[in-house]
Structure formats: structure tokens, C-alpha cells
Copies of this chain bind each other. A is one copy, B any other.
Amino acid sequence: MIAILKKGTTENEIKELTSWFEEQGVRCHLSKGDYQTIIGLIGDTSHIDTELVESLDMIESVRRISEPFKKANRKFHPDNTVIKVGNVTIGDGSFNVMAGPCSIESETQIIEIAKAVKAAGATILRGGAFKPRTSPYAFQGLHEEGIKYLIEAKEETGLPVITEIMDARHLPLFEDVDILQVGARNMQNFELLKALGETDKPVLLKRGLSSTLTELLMSAEYIMASGNPNVILCERGIRTFETATRNTLDVSAVPVLRELSHLPIIVDPSHATGVARYVKPMAMCGTAAGADGLEIEVHTNPKAALSDGAQSLTPAEFEDLMQAVAKIHAAL
């Protein structure tokens, strides 16, 4: 961290400032020019509050040199993290599609869809049992029962499964689940992140609607700092002024995250657009951008889906998407 002092700062003020920094456990290196005095802070500055330092009278500006995330940082971990679930690997250059219904509605429904998405090439089954819904009056998922059906579909098809967890108290219900998903609205539910960090299950962490990529990586850091290195990042659209799509897929997140972090990156075009007919082109974009895989909503009867029917593909549409995506992936 570099702090640039205002002109006219006195020797005494500088002394006081450097003592204060040293009390916080960092060493100071002073560069006095006839132009400007600069303090370089050496050591672990991750707990220093830049906004507070910037607000001090004698400070012109402050700049972090190093990113505030460590364990998620590619600089300290140059090789890609590879995550294994069942016989599937994520992050090693292979391309994995997680597909299934927004909500698990019945045993028949989830098994039928699981077979359909497997036939089309999906390698992981998704399905929601706990559903975060804006309205308390909307369908909230089948909860424990839903997870039971999901595990049956896993046994039936051999596909590893991913489903969302909304509260640390529910963790015991997820024992047979392969990947725990943290939704966009919970990306900064830090108590949940810490609880997941104490497990060893892979966690797919969705970017919050208005979270920067640095904040996404800091949330990954919460999980990793608590002991769980198995984090998968997921871009699922951000909130902007545009209303033609539900959110705006920030596909540039893929190369930016690839550069900053070693964690695998998944793109979710279903939630990003909210419109079934835009899912295929956005899936192709995510693939072209270099993602490690996709998460796609598929339903055998979107019109009857209990949630997010508007953005669900039929199995036939999903098969079409898979073929288009395979061609793009082959072209990379």
C-alpha cells in the first residue's frame, strides 16, 4: 500500500502517522522528494482500512498495490484449481454443463429432466429445493423433500448434483449433495460463507447483482479462509439500467476473473437474460469467452414450472444449445 502525503505535512505529523501505521503491524518506508512524500507500507496490509487512511487530513491519496484477496489470487497460486465431483472435473480445460429445473417439483419431474439433460450432454444435474423468491407468497421449494428427489435422480442417472443452500442451519440436509450453490442474494451473507468454509464440499458462488468482481473474489476468500479451497465462481448477470433483459450478462467477467484468480468460472445465461430465447446465444458467448462451463435451466414443461418458467429451455431446445456450444468450444 502506498500513501501519498499532502504538501506541507510536517515532520511531526509524519512521525505520528508512521507510528500509527506501525501499531497496526506494518512497516513504513518513506520516500521524500522535493515533489511529494510517499509512504510505502510493507507487510500484511489486508486489514488496513484504505477509506479511513484516505480521510485523514494529511493524506492526498492511498493506493493498494496488492489485491486484498490472497487465497483466491492467481499471483500466489498460478495453477488452475481443479475440482472433482464424482467422475467430473471442473477447471482442467474440460467443459461442464450443469442443467436441470429451477425448482424440483416431484420425483418424476426431476428424474425425467435428469435423463433428458444427461442424454443431451450435461455432466451435472441442477435443481432447486430451497428457492430464494422476492415474494414471501411465491413457491419456496420442496425443501428436504426436494433434496431427497434430487438424490434419487442422482442415483438413477449417475450425475453429480448441485443445489442451493440459503442458511447454515440447513447444512445437515445437504450431506449427499455434490456441489453447494450460494445464490446472488447471499453472496455477502458472510455467516453462511464461513459455515460453508468449514465443510469440504465444492461451493458454486454466484456473483451478486451489484457486486464487483473484487467483491466476488473477497466472498470466495471468506470460504477459502475458513478452510475450504473448493470454490467455483459464477457470473450470472448484473443489475444495470437496461430492462430488455432481466439482468446484463457481464461476459468480460470471464477473462478478468481468469487473470485475477485460479478458480474455475461458470456462466449462467438463464438468470442473466431471464428469457428462454436469449439463453442459447448467451451460452455461446460464455463459451467463447473461455468459461469452464455453464449452468442452464431446463424443464420438460416450462409453462407449468413452479418458478422461472420464462427462462427455462425444453429438452429439445437444450439439445440444440449443447450442439451449438460444442462447436464453439471446439473452435477455441
The interface of chain A, by Cβ under 8 A from chain B, is: 2, 4, 20, 29, 31-36, 38, 40, 42, 44, 46-47, 49, 51-52, 54-56, 60-61, 63, 65, 68, 132-139, 166-169, 185-186, 188-192, 194, 208-210, 212-215, 218, 221-222, 225-226, 238-246, 248-256, 259, 272-278, 281-282, 284-285, 287-290, 302-303, 305, 307-311, 324, 327-328, 330-332
Taking a contact as CB atoms under 8 Å apart, the answer to whether A135 and B256 are in contact is: no
The 9 A-B pairs of least Cβ separation, nearest first, read A210-B210, A31-B31, A167-B191, A55-B310, A185-B188, A288-B288, A52-B309, A51-B310, A327-B331
Residues of B within 8 A of A60 (CB): 65
Taking a contact as CB atoms under 8 Å apart, the answer to whether B191 and A46 are in contact is: no
A31's partner among B33, B55, B208, B302 (CB-CB below 8 A) is B33
6 example contacts (A-B, Cβ-Cβ < 8 A) are as follows A49-B138, A49-B310, A61-B65, A244-B252, A252-B281, A256-B278
Given A38-B31, A275-B55, residue A225 in contact with residue B284 (CB < 8 A): no
Given A36-B2, A137-B46, A285-B288, residue A20 in contact with residue B303 (CB < 8 A): yes
Taking a contact as CB atoms under 8 Å apart, the answer to whether B166 and A167 are in contact is: no
A222 to B259, CA, bound (A): 38
